[in-house]
């Protein structure tokens, strides 16, 4: 059977806990307000979804300490709420799969996740998923794939914080709304948010043994890259379509069984139009909500918080409203659920998109038996490259559009394909998965970003360097430059990163007939790369 969701905890723009979130949903009350946490010279204070009580806590773009402290506070509160219904659970064996985008604070993001696990008393494995704004949904998808006898239960979800760099970056990209996010409607533009959403995820056997009742089950997950642009999705929505179809196949469902879609729906023209195209192609017309007008775009926590909203209302037979919707823009969904209303959502799809052209779709519904594939796999090639090797070996890529980490990743993928005899044809690129194990953002890109801020201030920072300051950037650049359109995951698990990546590669090949090959790469600009290519069969 598919893993059970047996507990959930949330921190969000309306406060701490499920009750505050449910009240806001039932009252159709937006949590957006003017930015007060910090001031940035030359930048306006746009509406955002701040967690209440945490204004004025960050002193400037270099104040990572307070940002990480807030993230720990949010995640600890969400985790404790998710575990409140399981006081008998032995936390010493409980793992944590955390999605986040937080900037570095003198340590890699795995250290942040480890500190959260320590505060919650968790003694199991700790894995970070960092695929930009799809991280929370990807973390839940990873829990679906990894749970089994060796890992019977985890906390999974996301946490993120609005920082000066993130706020200024989206402002420089011209993505922010002046009046507040209105998905699929007017005015166009996004509103940032922050918070945390964590779920207790258990195998059915583990849940039954302690008498747990499931809120819902994770049925299937799909991922895809659209190999198009560093910050914008492919206009035809092909990545969204592929991610949704992959999730349906993984769950053993057809499109007709999906009753509601919780869309990414950021409110920007590029995202909304492409996403609706992709969703419609994969599912046909469905009731489609976006919760960005309620919570803001909570970045790496967005998917987990939005799923929590859907489940809280699902218990009451209600569909979540798209707050801010007034008049449909061209390309809006046929049914954007502008107001809270009754409706079936036993099987729901939640999806998120991210910088680098990464898309993740997750199907949730009643517990059910799902037959997963059992194809064997084999290690077909391996290599290790230094940055110098990569600069010499890489070919056919635009070096101006990527940093050293991107070059290193592209060269490693190309070398593995050469060693295994795999030609990157269009078909091969669609049937190839990429798993990158990486704990630190490229020092080259961070240096470029800092230099642009020192020269021109936050309002004049380099938009390109900002886009490359996320862990997903090298994977996105590699997908774009080489035309890879299969699933993409970026993880870090400390010393276990490579082993976890290889474990996931074998799971993908075992369960996903749409894949022929999966490449795993351990990536570090200082130490180089270690790559493995696995084939089905």
Of the chain, the end-to-end C-alpha distance in Å amounts to: 25
| Cα–Cα distance for residue pair 15/514, rounded to 1 Å | 42
Question: Could you tell me if 361 and 304 are in contact, meaning their C-beta atoms sit under 8 angstroms apart?
Answer: no
- Told to judge if 250 belongs to the known catalytic residues of this protein, a careful annotator would answer no
| Local structure of residue 124 (DSSP, 8 states) | S
Q: Which of 297, 309, 429, 478 is catalytic?
A: 297
List strand residue ranges (DSSP E) for 95-214, in order: 95-99, 126-129, 153-160, 195-202
Q: Does 378 sit behind a cis peptide bond, omega within 30 degrees of 0 on the bond before it?
A: no
Question: Could you tell me if 224 and 486 are in contact, meaning their C-beta atoms sit under 8 angstroms apart?
Answer: yes
| Cα–Cα distance for residue pair 263/289, rounded to 1 Å | 6
Question: Could you tell me if 177 and 267 are in contact, meaning their C-beta atoms sit under 8 angstroms apart?
Answer: yes
Q: Which of 12, 133, 351, 383 is catalytic?
A: 133
- Told to judge if 12 belongs to the known catalytic residues of this protein, a careful annotator would answer no
Q: What tokens were used for 160?
A: 């993120």
Q: Is 326 exposed, middle or buried (0-12, 13-18, 19+ CB in 10 A)?
A: exposed
| Cα–Cα distance for residue pair 30/14, rounded to 1 Å | 8
Total count of residues recorded for the chain: 537
Closest C-alpha among 202, 200, 207 to residue 78: 200
Q: What tokens were used for 491?
A: 């993880």
Measure Cα distances from 341 to 14, 243, 263, 336, 346 in Å.
21, 28, 17, 12, 15
Q: Which of 14, 206, 228, 264 is catalytic?
A: 264
Sign of the alpha-carbon torsion through 170, 173, 179, 185: negative
Closest C-alpha among 334, 358, 356, 343 to residue 264: 358
- Told to judge if 417 belongs to the known catalytic residues of this protein, a careful annotator would answer no
Sign of the alpha-carbon torsion through 16, 21, 24, 26: negative
What is the residue whose two structure tokens read 């219904």?
85
Closest C-alpha among 297, 267, 269, 281 to residue 239: 281
- Secondary structure class of 381 (helix, strand, coil): strand
Closest C-alpha among 422, 420, 442 to residue 431: 422
Catalytic positions, written as ranges: 133, 264, 297
């Amino acid at each position: 059977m598919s893993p059970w969701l047996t507990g959930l905890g949330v921190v969000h723009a309306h406060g701490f806990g499920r009750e505050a979130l449910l009240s806001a949903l039932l009252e159709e009350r937006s949590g957006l307000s003017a930015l007060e946490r910090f001031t940035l010279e030359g930048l306006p204070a746009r509406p955002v979804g701040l967690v209440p009580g945490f204004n004025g806590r960050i002193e400037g773009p270099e104040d990572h300490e307070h940002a990480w402290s807030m993230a720990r506070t949010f995640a600890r509160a969400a985790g404790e709420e998710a575990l409140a219904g399981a006081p008998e659970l032995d936390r010493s064996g409980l793992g944590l799969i955390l999605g986040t985008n937080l900037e570095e604070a003198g340590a890699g993001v795995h250290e942040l996740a480890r500190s959260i696990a320590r505060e919650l008393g968790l003694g199991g494995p700790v894995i970070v998923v960092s695929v930009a704004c799809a991280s929370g949904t990807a973390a839940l998808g990873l829990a679906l794939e990894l749970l089994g006898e060796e890992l019977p239960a985890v906390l999974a979800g996301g946490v993120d914080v609005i920082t000066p760099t993130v706020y200024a970056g989206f402002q420089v990209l011209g993505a922010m709304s002046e009046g507040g996010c209105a998905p699929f409607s007017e005015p166009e533009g996004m509103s940032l948010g922050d918070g945390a959403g964590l779920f207790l995820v258990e195998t059915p056997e583990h849940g039954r043994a302690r008498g747990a009742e499931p809120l819902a089950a994770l049925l299937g997950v799909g991922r895809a890259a659209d190999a198009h642009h560093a910050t914008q999705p492919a206009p035809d929505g092909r990545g969204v379509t592929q991610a949704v179809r992959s999730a349906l196949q993984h769950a053993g469902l057809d499109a007709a069984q999906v009753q509601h879609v919780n869309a990414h729906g950021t409110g920007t023209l590029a995202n909304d139009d492409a996403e609706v195209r992709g969703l419609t192609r994969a599912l046909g017309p469905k009731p489609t909500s976006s919760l960005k007008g309620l919570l803001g775009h909570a970045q790496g926590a967005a998917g987990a918080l939005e799923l929590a909203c859907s489940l809280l209302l699902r218990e009451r037979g209600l569909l979540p409203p798209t707050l801010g919707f007034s008049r449909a823009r061209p390309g809006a969904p046929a049914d954007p659920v502008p107001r809270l209303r009754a409706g079936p959502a036993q099987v729901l799809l939640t999806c998120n998109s991210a910088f680098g052209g990464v898309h993740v779709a997750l199907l949730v519904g009643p517990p059910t038996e799902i037959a997963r594939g059992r194809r064997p796999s084999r290690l077909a090639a391996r290599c290790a490259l230094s940055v110098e090797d990569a600069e010499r070996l890489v070919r056919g890529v635009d070096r101006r559009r990527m940093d050293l980490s991107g070059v290193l990743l592209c060269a490693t993928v190309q070398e593995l394909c050469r060693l295994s005899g795999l030609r990157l044809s269009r078909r091969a690129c669609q049937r190839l998965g990429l798993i990158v194990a990486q704990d630190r953002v490229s020092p080259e890109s961070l240096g470029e970003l800092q230099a642009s801020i020192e020269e021109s201030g936050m309002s004049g920072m380099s938009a390109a360097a900002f886009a490359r300051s996320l862990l997903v950037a090298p994977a996105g650049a590699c997908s774009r430059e080489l035309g890879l359109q299969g699933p993409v995951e970026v993880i870090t698990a400390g010393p276990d990163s490579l082993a976890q990546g290889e474990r996931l590669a074998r799971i993908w090949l075992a369960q996903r007939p749409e894949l022929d090959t999966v490449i795993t790469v351990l990536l570090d600009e200082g130490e180089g790369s270690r790559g493995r290519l696995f084939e089905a069969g």
